[in-house]
Structure 1
């Protein structure tokens, strides 16, 4: 194995080198990895961190993913659905406060009523957020689960702003056995990894900036599994990555398997962020809110390790407590205006600036768009070969 100093100067890595970097534990070595990822981010992406104002539209879900606190079979959680007016109000707050984009997230549904509700909300958001600062309206990221290609195309049309349109669909793990363990609830409709990858391909064909990601520290997961996840990011040719630690939920079906010790888990998660930056280069990487469960400065440390996107929560306070995918979710009672001011200070304390009123598109996507390739499937995702 090459020296760590030599490895961190590379832009192309073998699987063996990726596994080695993911497994770093020595404090001095971890600082070197962090600095390399931070410097690489500055070189390729600049010094801005971009906001995606998070709006948790609904916790009604038709899926029963075993790790999730709002899964269908968790009958203890009160269900809610925001109104279109509430959603647009949150979007206007984002636009008025310089956020370049928002993220609409919800439990998984694909019934016609929900599809049309999202379409109406997208039209209204576009119409209500156009301004001198945002001439095309606020940008939108959707995180609404598996849909048909026709629905993805319909929502893209309704957004009115295809040049600032993203979709986040995490595949959670590229290990089929782990994927099945997380999703295959007995006697229930099961999810399949191949179908999630097909959805990502459709999103690419519909012109979205394609985002995906994984959970880190799943019981039974190995460093080789995480390396395979990074390789699948490459095969997907992802524009953005959203990933975070595997955390327990009282409402989930997997409480008995526990979770990794907090100090070990955040170290592994930060390593994964840093290595993903070094391997994938000019993509967007989000610093997950879940990092704060493990460390009060978790999101700031994510930025130090190569993340350049943060998702401040704009969901009305009356709903936040009922949208907990994992236990001990932070910021449930923080007023958006107060929280945003403090968040800017914390970002600037890490040597970064907030990219106000900017779309924050990944450089990878912008290069693809400039090459005139955005509307075609640049890389066919190997759906049968993961």
Structure 2
């Protein structure tokens, strides 16, 4: 697809054809398999001040928590017992967990189970990420949220886009499988911004690419802004699938936060990964990056059953595979 084709598709000129091509591309590479990656959100403490995120340090209304190591491991055990092939250790930028403790968690999970371990821990030092790779971590998620350098600096309170991008490249050199992505429909953005995001992410050659619509959080400076478009998010992920056939592309929880049922629908439009929360119920509801982040899973025991049901109802097969990208840009 050329640039004018992409821009035309972003306006919704022919969604039926776009989604059909994305689905065909996805099935050609991944068949009917949908990888399940279980997220353990072990801390909602964060030292960042991102204007869109409910975990921001300035949010005094949030009930903060930190899970103990034993509880993190128990949640990982439960995720594997439920059929997850990947355990994602996720938190805010919380430096109270030492590099050694995180390393111990990685080693213990890998010793107990034949699974991939993904880290989503933010701007920890590169030396720490080298150490965690040596402990057995397989993947890193390092979201960009926008590829517009000025908007990035504005949304992340003065932080430098170049530094974030450098971190992505360094993690790749360490041998991690790399995931990144953007937020669709951030305030003030246009289809041209979405086009630039798509082209930039494609040029990065990522192993995983995530796009979810902007969901305003009432406890942030962007509380009164218009939500992003679910349809735009569908179009962006479909285009990214066509341009990146071998990348893993998740159907994000932000879709359901704005339009229930959209995450499952995204599986028919190019997505091949679901990442449900397996955080214990006592904490799940407080991991509120945006309202509805863990919608439908904030009561009772954590379970992957709803994810498996959504996969099967849309004609796909839940996979317990580790689900590495066929791009093989990392070192296993």
TM-score range, shorter chain: over 0.9
Instruction: Quote how far apart the aligned CAs of 1:318 are.
Output: 0.5
CA-atom RMSD in angstroms: 1.7
Partner residue of 2:122? 145
Equivalent in the alignment of 1:6: none
Find the aligned partners of 1:344 and 1:178 in 2 and give their Cα distance. 37
1:89 lines up with 2:74 in the alignment: yes
Mapped to 2, the partners of 1:176 and 1:194 lie a distance apart of 8
Q: How does 1:173-184 map to 2 (within 5 A)?
A: 173-184=146-157
* Alignment counterpart, residue 325 of structure 2, candidates 362, 365, 369: 362
Aligned to 2:5: 17
Matched, 1:245 2:230: no
After superposing the two structures, state which structure 1 stretch, 308-317 or 138-147, moved more. Answer: 138-147
Q: 1:334 Cα shift? A: 4.4
Equivalent pair of 1:148/1:199 in contact (CA under 8 Å): no
Q: 8 Å contact 2:93–2:124 — kept in the other structure?
A: no
Q: Does the Cα contact within 8 Å between 1:70 and 1:251 map onto a contact in 2? A: no
Could you tell me which residue of structure 1 aligns to residue 16 of structure 2?
31
Q: Which has the larger radius of gyration?
A: 1
TM-score (norm 1): 0.82
Q: Could you list the runs of 5+ residues in structure 1 that have no partner in the other structure?
A: 1-12, 130-136, 185-189, 376-386
Distance in 2 (CA, whole Å) between partners of 1:151 and 1:242 is 24
Structure 2 residue matching 1:109: 3-state secondary structure = coil
Deviation at 1:98, TM superposition (A): 2.0
Does residue 117 of structure 1 match 2:101? Answer: yes
**1:64 Cα deviation (Å)?**
0.6
Per-residue deviation, residues 128-150 of structure 1 (Å, max 9, x unmatched):
22xxxxxxx22111111123321
Q: Which runs of 4+ in 1 moved over 3 A?
A: 334-337
| Alignment of 1:126 onto 2:94 | no
| Corresponding residue for residue 323 of structure 1 | 287
Aligned residues: 331
Give the secondary structure class of the aligned counterpart of 2:253.
Answer: coil
Give the equivalent residue in structure 2 for 1:63: 48
Alignment of 1:103-252 (within 5 A): 103-110=88-95, 113-129=97-113, 137-159=114-136, 165-184=138-157, 190-252=158-220
* Equivalent residues of 1:57, 1:81 under 8 A apart: yes
